[in-house]
Amino acid sequence: MSTLANSTSIKQPRVSRPAVAISDAGNVDQYWRSLTYFNIYRLLIGGGLLIVTLKAGFVDFGVHRYNLFLYACYGHFISSGISMLLIKWRMPAFDWQLTIQVISDIVFFSLMLYASGGLQSGLGVALLVTLAGAGLISRGRLALFFAAVATISLLLLETYSLLTIQFYQAQYSQAGLLSMAYFAVAWLAFRLAKHTLASERLAQERGVDLANMAQVNQLVIQDLQEGVLVVDKNGFIRQRNSYAEKLLDLKPLSGNAERLRLSDSIPEIAARLTSWQGNSSIQFDLLRLTHSNALVRTRFLPIQSDFRNGVVIFLEDMGRVQVQLQQLKLAALGRLTVNIAHEIRNPLSAINHAAELLEEEQLEANFDSRLARIICENAQRLNKIVNDVLQLNRSNVAKPEVFDVQDYIRKFLEEFCDTEKIDHGVFILSSSHKYLICFDRDHLNRVLWNLCRNAWRHCRRQTGSIYIQLEKAVNESDFCIDIMDDGPGVDPQQAKQLFEPFFTTASGGTGLGLFIARELCEINQASLDFVEDSVSGHFRIVCKINKLCQ
């Protein structure tokens, strides 16, 4: 970017890390959500054991004490249901609820093992899933503790079964192997939880980096002095900066705002995008936006190598560029011409005065005074040029007022026709409503005077030869003053030079009239342009409507 070329002169903003804080509330919700899923598993296991025990008679659950097994199943199922309510209320704390649920599983499954005749029922394996789930949910903090409690409970159960159940053969070797499996599962859950925590921490850091980068990109885009639109492959505007919203008269983008389709909001740019997608080397002319009457240059850049995946549209405001160029031009012109004008004016006055005296002497001596008149006319023309040049530096301050443009132009036409000795019927003023505009009266008078004088010079000088139309612009916030004549029009090659200083097609013109008129319009936040689609002379002034002066 050209604006970032001199990086040493720009103070880079320091982005603190993290710019976007990781939401603790989001982590807490994730813990409780995992505990909810774990408790749903407990409900399914408890309900499944009840159904299998009550409906399937071939299962050897509860062969030693059937009622105790049923009570344990009912207790496990009711405990799971109560835990669901406690999770919903989030009382007590998370660690306490997880501990209560795991200890409950160990107690109830131990009772089921005893009621089913010991380890030979195979219910001890169900605790493996409980220990693994508890270790993952707690991120490994309590995994080994739960394994130790399950091991102690299993060994005590085996000893108690040996003492209370007749002809029971203790299976300490199988209990030891199952206890080792408990600790293995708990250790694996601990290692997996530790790895998961490291991955989450890395993901959070990467998320912070991406958020910081997105914020920096957003700041850069928002600070650009040109409009930026990001359009996806479906034609929706995904992102835009404030300058684009100003140029296109779009509402500021909010988080829940409905996405806009480019073809519906800005059809002229959508048409250019379609043409560019067909031929990426096409060169577009400047575009006059109907929303803000701004003159922009459009550029398209693909987001990826395939531009059909999305495109970035740049809208360069040529009005702002022209203003900057004109300011530089005026600054240089002002420094040069003011000094020259003052130096020319004194000898010019002396030449004019001497020519007048010479003309009087020639008249008294009955000599031809044609040469003296030529000197006087050219001296007056040079003096007019000097006055116009000096006015370039005197018209840079506007005093805008709110007034009815229809009444103002009607009075202006009466004054103009009386001063220039023109029939009032030459002008036709068309306006259906009264509108208020904010403009400097003196500046508008000078602009209209110049345009009407040019129209009178090139028209057919018949009734209705000059047509002035007042109407709202397409965007309803601007107002247009169109001045048209029935003359031969302007040559297309000369139309591009109309507003350049010292360019004129009139024999006695200075070439500063239209240049000064456009400058006066821009001082009043308005624009003056030549409408090239007309077969005759057509100038348009666009200014703001119904806006109070600041």
Which is higher by pLDDT, 250 or 454? 454
For 336-374, give one letter per residue: b (16+ CB within 10 A) or e. ebeeebeebeeebeebbeebeebbeebeeeeeebeebee
Read off the pLDDT of residues 535-545 as tens digits, 9 standing for 90 and up. Answer: 788 899 998 87
pLDDT of residue 550: 45
Which is higher by pLDDT, 166 or 394? 166
DSSP secondary structure code for residue 96 in this structure: H
| CA nearest neighbour of 395 among 437, 345, 440 | 440
Give domain 225-316's CATH architecture.
2-Layer Sandwich (3.30)
Q: Where are the domains of the chain?
A: 24-203, 225-316, 321-391, 401-544
If DSSP codes are grouped into helix, strand and coil, which group holds residue 334? Answer: helix
Phi and psi torsions of 171, nearest 5° = -120, 65
Distance CA(150)–CA(181), nearest Å, equals 11
pLDDT tops 50 at residue 549: no
- Give the ranges where 56-93 is alpha helix by DSSP (H): 66-89
β 236-240/260-261 pair status: antiparallel
pLDDT of residue 12: 39
Poorest-confidence range of 112-116, 152-156, 494-498? Answer: 494-498
DSSP secondary structure code for residue 307 in this structure: G
Read off the pLDDT of residues 391-428 as tens digits, 9 standing for 90 and up. Answer: 655 555 678 888 888 899 999 999 999 988 899 899 99
Q: Would you state the structure tokens that stand for residue 172, as one six-digit string?
A: 């300490």
Phi and psi torsions of 283, nearest 5° = -110, 120
Read off the pLDDT of residues 50-77 as tens digits, 9 standing for 90 and up. Answer: 888 887 665 667 777 888 888 888 998 8
Task: Identify the band that residue 18 occupies on the pLDDT scale cut at 50, 70 and 90.
Answer: very low
Highest mean pLDDT, choosing among 66-80, 154-168, 316-330 = 66-80
For 89-99, give one letter per residue: b (16+ CB within 10 A) or e. eeeeebeebbb
Which is higher by pLDDT, 218 or 115? 115
Convert 223-263 into a string of H (helix), E (strand) and C (coil).
HCCCEEEEEECCCEEEEECHHHHHHHCCCCCCCCCCCEEHH
The whole-model pTM stands at: 0.43
pLDDT of residue 118: 78
Distance CA(257)–CA(10), nearest Å, equals 34
CATH of domain 401-544: 3.30.565.10
Query: How much of the chain, in percent, has pLDDT values that exceed 70?
Result: 81
| CA nearest neighbour of 112 among 155, 150, 82, 157 | 157
Task: Identify the band that residue 331 occupies on the pLDDT scale cut at 50, 70 and 90.
Answer: low
DSSP secondary structure code for residue 57 in this structure: T
Instruction: Answer left, alpha or beta for residue 466, where phi above 0 means left and psi between -120 and 50 means alpha.
Output: beta
The answer to whether 225-316 and 401-544 have equal CATH topology is no
pLDDT of residue 11: 38
